[in-house]
């Protein structure tokens, strides 16, 4: 007799929860390495009992309000067809206000800026995490200080060099390793709390409020470091599509949050008894015999945290490309089973170069921590703003309810952002510089593509009228099928014009294919293909893909069999127009942006690769476009 369904569901839930602990919580799970240390590191917050209890209370209630309530309880409800993350939220918000074009364009800009800032966060996270773990060597003996940066670079180099092999083999170990990590966090914390259980009084919000309002200037500075305890909270939302809401929530409340709270309170209990250990309280918690194993486990955990963020960077890049904000890049699939496992070489080595620069330039986790919080708080604030518009315009709930659900979180986000804004000159400029560069690239590409489309539309010939004209005196028809890829539906492809001009033939069957990417994660096969007969064995075909679909034109065209259009793979040729962009002083973008766009367009990966066209049946015909 087969086991009941609920037994299988419990097994699946346990498996997904274990995987979520490994992938979702790597970043926030390694925050104890540096968060509490940074609060007291610079001497702005005096190390005394009152302040230690106040900071611990702030940490606990920050984890509770931002992670438990905002992300786990509220934000996870805002799923875009089961998917989460800033791109999914951006698509959800823009769809909700699609009948308000001005508001929609502003939200898109804000969302794209948040996505650009994410890449800045993607540089800081691996650098500060791995550095903070390797810095445990200095606790063992100061003689190891000179080896910290070289060892960190070796670890990071190995991590990025391994990306091309994919994460499937390593991924199955993420969950168990992180379970061990969280267990160690909890045990270390419990041991020190047992020595000084009075520290548990900081669970009361009284201590946080007393610290905030009793010495507001000191508290304001401290908040810039306290926010480090929630770095990685965005991963809860971003990874919803991989694991689902229930495993993420279960992992947080049943394992991750208790372990984090116990460890932070254990560090606080130790500092109450031994203030001299403030230099690196996390590693000082460990007995001397356990120090080197703890350093090894911490390094492995930070590698896992970095791996999760690198994988997210690949995924976000793919989504942004399909939304039309970045040029096509070469994307390699590293698994024959999981379409989400991809490797983007350009992104991988660009991230690596920036991370190496950050590690060498800043030199320590404390210096990098100043650069960390600002990127995190910007993305948290943008997510809150987007959520408001989804609640009002997407879910059609009253303004008063939307305000009640988001205004408290917006105030908290803005307070944390303000506390980190004062650190811009101390390192916060670094992720802002990366984010600003990415935002410029993304908006330049989007606007440049629009200018190109407008110019091509101005010069275009309507396809039905063109076909009607040529069939008055039709050219010679040759056997086979011609597939003309066309960016603008209903216009005559330049590749067709050039083919008729130079080859003076028309295939027996002609498909004019336009690929459209939509602001939803997935488009099913039932809605993948639209076809319209143009007569004379010619068809206008529109293929629809979501921003998480892999665009595969030959596979999608097989769906035309239901419409009586048969394609023989060996008798089908794909015609593309290879446009060359010529910047001019005419109206459009600034000349430097047009030159930037032209360079990106010239170096973009071939459309044939992006659309998965067979390389031995492609004909490319070039043309020049002035913008």
pLDDT at 7 over 50: no
Domain segments of the chain: what residues? 11-447, 460-626
pLDDT at 412 over 50: yes
Query: DSSP of 376-418, one letter per residue?
Result: HHHHHHHHHHHHHHIIIIIS---HHHHHHHHHHHHHHHHHHHH
What CA–CA distance (Å, rounded) separates 480 from 478? 7
Mean pLDDT computed over 419-426: 87
Q: How confident is the model at residue 433 (pLDDT cuts 50, 70, 90)?
A: very high
Q: What is the dihedral of CA 218, 220, 221, 224, to 10 degrees?
A: 150
Instruction: Provide the 8-state DSSP code for 204.
Output: S
Instruction: Give the CB-side neighbour count of residue 213, counting CA atoms within 13 A.
Output: 5
Strands of 40-142, DSSP E = none
> According to the model, what pLDDT value does residue 172 have?
63
**Edge-to-edge order in the sheet of strand 529-535:** 529-535, 538-546, 505-518, 476-485, 572-582, 618-626
pLDDT at 308 over 70: yes
> According to the model, what pLDDT value does residue 229 have?
93
Mean pLDDT computed over 569-588: 82
The CA-CA-CA angle for residues 414, 416, 421, to 5°, reads 90
Q: Which residues contact 579 (CB under 8 A, 6 or more apart)?
A: 452, 456, 494, 601, 622, 623, 624, 625
Q: How confident is the model at residue 3 (pLDDT cuts 50, 70, 90)?
A: very low
Specify which of 96-105, 135-144, 193-202, 555-564 reaches the highest per-range mean pLDDT.
Answer: 193-202
Mean pLDDT computed over 447-466: 86
Length of the chain, in residues: 627
User: Which tokens in the block code for residue 413?
Assistant: 């986000």
> According to the model, what pLDDT value does residue 5 have?
36
- The whole-chain average pLDDT of the chain stands at 87
Q: Which residue has the higher pLDDT, 229 or 373?
A: 229
Specify which of 16-20, 57-61, 369-373, 614-618 reaches the highest per-range mean pLDDT.
Answer: 57-61
pLDDT at 625 over 80: no
Q: How far is CA 240 from the centre of its chain?
A: 12
User: Which tokens in the block code for residue 438?
Assistant: 């990415």
565-574, pLDDT tens digit by residue?
Answer: 888 888 999 9
pLDDT at 1 over 50: no
The architecture in CATH of the region 11-447 reads: Up-down Bundle (1.20)
Answer whether 601's CB lies under 8 Å from 579's CB: yes
pLDDT at 8 over 60: no
Mean pLDDT computed over 292-298: 93
Q: How confident is the model at residue 627 (pLDDT cuts 50, 70, 90)?
A: confident
Q: Is 177 helix (H, G, I), strand (E, B) or coil?
A: helix
> According to the model, what pLDDT value does residue 335 have?
62
User: Which tokens in the block code for residue 418?
Assistant: 């303000």
What CA–CA distance (Å, rounded) separates 392 from 394? 6
> According to the model, what pLDDT value does residue 167 have?
60
What CA–CA distance (Å, rounded) separates 425 from 433? 12
Q: How far is CA 229 from the centre of its chain?
A: 20
Radius of gyration of the chain (CA): 28
Q: How confident is the model at residue 338 (pLDDT cuts 50, 70, 90)?
A: low
What CA–CA distance (Å, rounded) separates 233 from 253? 14
pLDDT at 390 over 50: yes
Mean pLDDT computed over 384-395: 90
pLDDT at 298 over 60: yes
């Amino acid at each position: 007799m087969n086991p009941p369904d609920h037994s299988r569901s419990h097994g699946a839930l346990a498996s997904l929860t274990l995987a979520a602990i490994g992938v979702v919580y790597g970043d926030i799970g390694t925050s104890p390495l540096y968060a509490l240390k940074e609060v007291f590191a610079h001497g702005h917050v005096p190390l005394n009992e009152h302040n230690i209890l106040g900071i611990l209370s702030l940490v606990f209630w920050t984890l509770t309000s931002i992670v438990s309530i905002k992300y786990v309880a509220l934000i996870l409800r805002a799923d875009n067809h089961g998917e989460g993350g800033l791109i999914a939220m951006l698509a959800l918000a823009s769809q909700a206000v699609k009948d308000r074009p001005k508001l929609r364009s502003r939200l898109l800009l804000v969302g794209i800026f948040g996505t650009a800032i994410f890449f800045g966060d993607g540089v800081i996270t691996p650098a500060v995490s791995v550095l903070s773990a390797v810095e445990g060597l200095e606790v063992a003996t100061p003689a190891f200080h000179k080896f910290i940066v070289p060892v960190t670079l070796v670890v990071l180099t190995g991590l990025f060099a391994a990306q091309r092999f994919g994460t499937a083999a390593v991924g199955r170990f993420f969950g168990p390793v992180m379970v061990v990590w969280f267990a160690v966090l909890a045990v270390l914390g419990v041991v020190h709390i047992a020595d000084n259980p009075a520290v548990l009084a900081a669970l009361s919000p009284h201590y946080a409020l007393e610290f905030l309002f009793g010495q507001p200037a000191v508290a304001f500075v401290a908040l810039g470091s306290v926010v480090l305890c929630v770095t990685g909270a965005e991963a809860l939302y971003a990874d919803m599509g991989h694991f689902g809401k229930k495993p993420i929530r279960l992992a947080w409340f049943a394992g991750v949050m208790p372990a984090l709270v116990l460890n932070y309170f254990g560090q606080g209990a130790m500092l109450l008894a031994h203030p001299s250990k403030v230099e690196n309280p996390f590693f000082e918690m460990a007995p001397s015999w356990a120090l080197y194993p703890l350093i090894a486990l911490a390094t492995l955990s930070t590698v896992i945290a970095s791996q999760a963020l690198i994988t997210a960077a690949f995924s976000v890049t793919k989504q942004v490309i399909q939304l039309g904000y970045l040029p096509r890049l070469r994307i390699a699939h590293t698994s024959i089973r999981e379409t989400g496992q991809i490797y983007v070489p350009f992104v991988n080595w660009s991230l690596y170069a920036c991370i190496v620069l950050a590690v060498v330039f800043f030199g320590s986790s404390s210096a990098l921590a100043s650069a960390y919080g600002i990127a995190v708080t910007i993305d948290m604030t943008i997510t809150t703003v987007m959520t408001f518009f989804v609640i009002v315009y997407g879910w059609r709930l009253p303004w008063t309810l939307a305000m009640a659900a988001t205004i408290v979180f917006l105030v908290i986000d803005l307070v944390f952002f303000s506390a980190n804004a004062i650190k811009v000159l101390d390192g916060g400029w670094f992720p802002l510089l990366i984010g600003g560069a990415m935002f410029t690239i993304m908006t330049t590409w989007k606007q440049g593509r629009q200018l190109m489309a407008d110019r091509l539309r101005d010069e275009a010939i309507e396809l039905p009228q063109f076909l009607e004209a040529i069939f008055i005196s039709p050219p010679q028809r040759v056997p086979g099928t011609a597939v003309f890829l066309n960016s603008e539906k209903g216009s005559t492809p330049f590749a067709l014009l050039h083919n008729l001009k130079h080859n003076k033939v028309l295939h027996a069957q002609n498909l004019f294919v336009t690929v459209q990417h939509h602001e939803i994660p997935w488009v099913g096969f039932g809605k993948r293909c639209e076809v319209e007969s143009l007569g004379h064995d010619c068809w206008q075909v529109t293929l629809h893909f979501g921003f998480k679909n892999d665009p595969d034109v030959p596979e999608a065209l097989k769906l035309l069999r239901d419409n009586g259009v048969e394609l023989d793979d060996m008798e089908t040729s794909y015609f593309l127009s290879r446009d060359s962009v010529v910047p001019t002083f005419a109206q459009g973008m600034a000349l430097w942006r047009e030159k930037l766009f032209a360079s990106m367009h010239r170096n973009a990966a071939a459309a044939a690769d992006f659309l998965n066209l067979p390389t031995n049946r492609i004909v490319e015909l070039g043309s020049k476009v002035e913008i």
